[in-house]
Amino acid sequence: MALDGYFDQGMSRRAMQAELLDAETELELAYRWRDQRDEEALHRLITAYMRLAISMAAKFKRYGAPMNDLIQEAGLGLMKAADKFDPDRGVRFSTYAVWWIKASIQDHVMRNWSMVRTGSTSSQKSLFFNMRRVQARLEREALARGERLDTHQLRQMIATEVGVSLADVEMMEGRLAGSDFSLNATQSSEDDGREWIDTLEDENSQSSERVEAQKDIDTLRGWLVKAMNALNERERFIVTERKLRDEPRTLESLGTELGLSKERVRQLEAAAFQKMRKNLESQSREVHEFFA
């Protein structure tokens, strides 16, 4: 975009000495930029209203972003406004630019508030920037009526006021409660203080648990091998093809290969499983519960 070169760090200092444009001059500059892409006209238009951008940026200092960054974002919003402004609509450029400046600053604040994305919809943005103000007003009004709102009532009233869900209000409370901090930060000022990451529970199984689990698997595998060996060759073949393949074969296909009916193969399969069950039960009563 042809606007990229019009903002630099010195513009914030020059803005306060910039000319004040009357409506006719502003309109003339807007036409020259739109119709002729006159960069001198664009420069005058942006410089004249940079003080407006700086004033709006200052209102967002409480969100913790560096002022220089806020001014730069405000300047970018102002340039977008200049690029999209249509002077034929009969609206002052300053009125039109306010929305673009504010939107650019708000997007920057929300992008940098937390590593966790705070929200992107218009309702979530409204909640982010208005929640504390709405909450304070609701609490003042309740106090004036002699009422005391509990947390749930207050959240529900905020949700109704802003036009979002209760879940959005609860989520935003958590986001606004504090900024991110490193898990490698120590819990105390001492050099050997424990890091916060050390307090997180290890979700992986412990080595002793893994050893015990592997031992159980090996024992069960041995029992199954013995139970399979107790079957005759045809029964082992049916069980293997029906239960131990990645893609089990059908009773019909086995019957065709063995020269048996589908029903006969099913009977042999059931008999084989019964033999295996009895064999396993003789090795351990626990396996009976496993196969029940």
Q: Is residue 281 part of a domain?
A: yes
User: In the listed set 62, 82, 113, which residue is the last one of a domain according to the structure?
Assistant: 113
Farthest-apart Cα atoms in the chain, separation: 102
Place of tokens 């004033």: 55
Per the structure, the complete domain to which residue 161 belongs is given by 122-176
pLDDT at 93: 92
In eight-state DSSP terms, residue 115 is S
Spatial contact of 49 and 78, defined as CB atoms under 8 Å apart: yes
pLDDT at 115: 44
Is the same domain home to 137 and 236?
no
In order along its 292 residues, the chain shows pLDDT tens digits of 444 444 445 555 666 677 888 889 999 999 999 999 999 999 899 989 998 999 899 888 877 788 888 898 999 999 999 999 999 988 899 899 999 998 888 888 877 765 445 455 666 677 777 777 888 888 888 888 888 888 888 888 888 888 888 888 877 776 666 554 555 555 555 555 566 555 555 555 555 666 777 777 777 788 888 888 888 999 989 988 888 888 888 999 988 988 999 899 899 999 988 888 888 777 655 544 544 4
Q: Read off the tokens for 143.
A: 């106090």
User: In the listed set 96, 113, 130, which residue is the last one of a domain according to the structure?
Assistant: 113
Nearest to 3 by CA among 45, 35, 31: 45
Q: Is residue 197 part of a domain?
A: no
Is the same domain home to 150 and 240?
no
Number of other CB atoms surrounding residue 63 within 10 Å: 18
Q: Is residue 93 part of a domain?
A: yes
Is the same domain home to 236 and 170?
no
CATH number at residue 91: 1.20.120.1810
Is the same domain home to 85 and 145?
no
Between CA 31 and CA 41 the distance in angstroms is: 9
Is the same domain home to 32 and 80?
yes
pLDDT at 2: 47
User: In the listed set 68, 90, 113, which residue is the last one of a domain according to the structure?
Assistant: 113
Number of domains in the chain: 3
Is the same domain home to 10 and 53?
yes
